[in-house]
Amino acid sequence: YFFQDTDEFILPTGANKTRGRFELAFFTIGGCCMTGAAFGALNGLRLGLKETQNMAWSKPRNVQILNMVTRQGALWANTLGSLALLYSAFGVIIEKTRGAEDDLNTIAAGTMTGMLYKSTG
C-alpha cells in the first residue's frame, strides 16, 4: 500500500501529465499581479511614511499614506501584470509556431518581452 508504482491521479484520455505553457500563463500573470501589488503597497507605505514624517498622526496623514499605498500598489501590479502577459503571450506564440517546448522558447519570450517593454523608452 505504501509503495505504489502507478500514478495517483486519473488523467482524462489524451491529457498530458504536465501543464502546458498556456495553462501556466494564468498562474504567471496572476502571481505577478499579486507580487506587484504587495511590493507596491510596501513601497507606498515607505514613501507615505517618508513624505508625511513632519505631520502629526491625524486623519489627513493617514489618508495620504493610504493614498500612496493604493497608488503604488496599483502601479506595480499593473506593470508586472503587463510584463507577465507579454511574456506569456510571446511564450505561447513561439511554442505553437515552433511546435516544441524547450528552454529556447523561454529565452526568446523573455528577450522579446524586454525588447518590446524597453522600446518605448
Is 14 part of a structural domain of the chain?
no
Is 39 part of a structural domain of the chain?
yes
Is 86 part of a structural domain of the chain?
yes
Instruction: Pick 95 or 12 by higher pLDDT.
Output: 95
| Residue 96 burial (10 A CB sphere; 0-12, 13-18, 19+) | exposed
Tens digit of pLDDT for each residue in 20-43? 777 788 888 999 999 999 999 999
**Number of domains into which the chain is organized:** 1
**Of 13-17, 25-29, 46-50, minimum mean pLDDT range:** 13-17
Is 6 part of a structural domain of the chain?
no
Residue 93 confidence (pLDDT):
93
For residues 106 and 82, give the distance between their C-alpha atoms in angstroms, rounded to a whole number. Answer: 17
Instruction: Pick 7 or 115 by higher pLDDT.
Output: 115
Cell numbers for 76, please give them: 506595480
Is 17 part of a structural domain of the chain?
no
Domain, as residue range, for 37: 24-120
CB 46 within 8 A of CB 85: no
CB 95 within 8 A of CB 112: no
Give percent above pLDDT 90 in the chain: 58
The answer, yes or no, to whether residue 14 has pLDDT greater than 90, is: no
In the predicted model, what is the mean pLDDT of residues 67-85? 95
Is 12 part of a structural domain of the chain?
no
Instruction: Give the model's confidence band at 11: pLDDT under 50 very low, under 70 low, under 90 confident, else very high.
Output: low
In order of 70, 75, 80, the CA distances from 108 in angstroms are 34, 26, 18
Is 108 part of a structural domain of the chain?
yes
